[in-house]
Amino acid sequence: MVEDRVDFLDRLIALLTDHGVRYCVVGGQAVNAYAEPVVSLDLDVAVAADQLGQVEALLGQAFGVERFSHSLNVSVPGSGLRVQVQTDPRYSAFVDRAEVRDVLGLRLPVARLEDVLQGKIWAVTDETRRPSKRQKDLADIARLLEGYPELRDLVPRDILAKLV
């Protein structure tokens, strides 16, 4: 799906694993782990709060890292994959509840279903995000609810109204 001539994903996962970093996949790829997958060039991960500084230093030594208000954007020439490490502290709690699932052909820790949904609710209600990104987040919520209608009660009414 993604052009990755330099094994960026494998190198990134190996770096995190070799250094004992506790992390999990969040965002669209996490939705893909629970629902019918859609194409995405992004991989969003959350790390344990106490390891965020260590992770930023490790990633900076191996890859290009750009800091934004709520993420570290990690890249490497030769790969179309875009990795974003969430720095919003709300996501770090997801790490300890993660479960291993299939993501991009690998078995990786993924935020539990309810946490993935919560992250998407935060994203769709974040007025600072581009409208097109918020629409994608809304579609991700719809995909999750199609597969898991029992989660409907966790979604605020104003968001549910946009799904009709």
| CA–CA dist 153, 19 (Å, integer) | 39
Per-residue confidence (pLDDT) for residue 15, from 0 to 100: 97
Per-residue confidence (pLDDT) for residue 28, from 0 to 100: 96
In the sheet that holds 23-26, the strands lie side by side as 64-67, 71-75, 82-86, 42-47, 23-26, 106-110, 99-103
pTM of the model: 0.93
Residue ranges of domains in the chain: 8-163
Amino acid identity, residue 45?
A: V
Per-residue confidence (pLDDT) for residue 26, from 0 to 100: 98
Cβ atoms of 95 and 87 within 8 Å: the answer is no
Per-residue confidence (pLDDT) for residue 25, from 0 to 100: 98
CATH number corresponding to 8-163: 3.30.460.40
Mean pLDDT by 10-residue block, N- to C-terminus, for the chain (164 residues)? 74 97 98 93 95 96 94 93 95 97 95 98 95 96 97 97 89
User: What three-state secondary structure class fits 136?
Assistant: helix
Buried b (16+ CB within 10 A) or exposed e, 18-46: eeebbbbbbbbbbbbbbbebeebeebbbb
Per-residue confidence (pLDDT) for residue 3, from 0 to 100: 61
Per-residue confidence (pLDDT) for residue 20, from 0 to 100: 98
Per-residue confidence (pLDDT) for residue 78, from 0 to 100: 87
Sorted by sequence, the CB contacts under 8 Å of residue 74 that are 6+ apart come out as 12, 59, 63, 64, 65, 83, 84, 85
For the chain, the straight-line distance linking the first and the last C-alpha, in angstroms and rounded, comes to: 31
| CA–CA dist 130, 27 (Å, integer) | 15
Amino acid identity, residue 107?
A: R
Cβ atoms of 9 and 104 within 8 Å: the answer is yes
